[in-house]
Amino acid sequence: MDMHICKNYEDLSTKACAHVVGQIAGKENSVLGLATGGTPEGMYKNLAEQHEKGELSFQHVTTFNLDEYIGLPTYHPLSYRAYMKAHLFSKVDLSAVNTHLPDGQAADLTAECARYEALLRDAGGVDLQVLGLGHNGHIGFNEPGTPFSSTTHIVELDEKTREANARYFEKKSDVPRKAITMGIETILAAREILVLISGADKAEALREMLYREITNEFPATALQQHPNVTILADEQAAKELPGQ
Ligand SMILES: O=P(O)(O)OC[C@H]1O[C@](O)(CO)[C@@H](O)[C@@H]1O
């Protein structure tokens, strides 16, 4: 894994943006895997600014998000579709037909998981997958215990994850209990993975991701098996690493 320690969140966001721009410039028709959460917001802001300045086009880009809550209407402000619209889709020239998220409102959710996997395959797979890291090691919404052989599936959200995400909702009981997420096998199929980790509260999780034996009790350890992972961590997140 290629580890870069960034001075602070701004530096991390600038470098993350540059990495994505490099992907888009290097391959026409790039397929990006995108993440939600607080960590990538700065990266999206920088990408939108570059587009605004006329330096970046998403015209030939296709995107696939990692996950979506089950049960929130698509137009709900806290759905991940709404998050993506607010932070990126409404600000750049991505065509709506090229932006994909699992449909958490599908009548047949199992069929929806299969449809999403097939769509990913038909698009030729993900070139660059952006990931955040959960405190309990989740990647996407793959909670501890998820088999590494998992493809897109329905998950019951861990209480810790619901607590972490409660900050966006009025109260914790409003946080959905289920979601659809790309599986760990789906994530590892990406040709390249970019992991963004910020803040002292993620320091332990980053250390575990890098140094714990590979175990599905800490899903992010699966990344140790991938041949092309870049990690951007700010100094706060890196503070528990050996030598820091
Ligand atoms: O960037 P944050 O907000 O710390 O979230 C970390 C991870 O947790 C999730 O928000 C899910 O809880 C992921 O989407 C994200 O990658």
Domain that holds residue 58: 2-196+209-231
35 alpha carbon to ligand 1 midpoint, in Å? 8
236 belongs to a structural domain: no
215-241 average pLDDT score = 98
105 belongs to a structural domain: yes
241 belongs to a structural domain: no
Give the tens place of pLDDT for each residue, 199-221.
999 999 999 999 999 999 999 99
Tell me the C-alpha distance between 126 and 218, whole Å.
23
Q: Whose CA is nearest to atom 11 of ligand 1?
A: 141
pLDDT given at position 227: 98
DSSP H helical ranges for the chain: 9-26, 41-52, 80-84, 109-122, 159-165, 184-188, 203-211
Annotated catalytic residue 4: no
Pocket test for ligand 1, best of 9, 34, 39 (most atoms within 8 A of CB): 39
203 belongs to a structural domain: no
58 belongs to a structural domain: yes
Q: Whose CA is nearest to atom 12 of ligand 1?
A: 161
Tell me the C-alpha distance between 203 and 150, whole Å.
27
Question: Which one of the listed residues 46, 65, 98, 136 is annotated catalytic?
Answer: 136
% pLDDT > 90, the chain? 95
Closest CA to 205 of 142, 139, 146, 158: 139
Number of domains in the chain: 1
81 belongs to a structural domain: yes
Give the tens place of pLDDT for each residue, 142-188.
999 999 999 999 999 989 889 989 999 999 999 999 999 999 999 99
pTM (two decimals): 0.96
β-pair type (153-156, 99-100): unpaired
Annotated catalytic residue 138: yes
Annotated catalytic residue 67: yes
38 belongs to a structural domain: yes
Provide residues with CB under 6 Å of ligand 1: 35-39, 132-134, 141, 161, 164-165
Nearest atom, ligand 1, residue 40 CA: 1
Nearest atom, ligand 1, residue 80 CA: 14
* Res 42 pLDDT > 90: yes
Q: For 115, phi and psi rounded to 5 degrees?
A: -60, -40
Annotated catalytic residue 185: no
CATH number reported for the structural domain that contains residue 62 in this entry:
3.40.50.1360
Cα distance from N-terminal residue to C-terminal residue, the chain: 17
129 belongs to a structural domain: yes
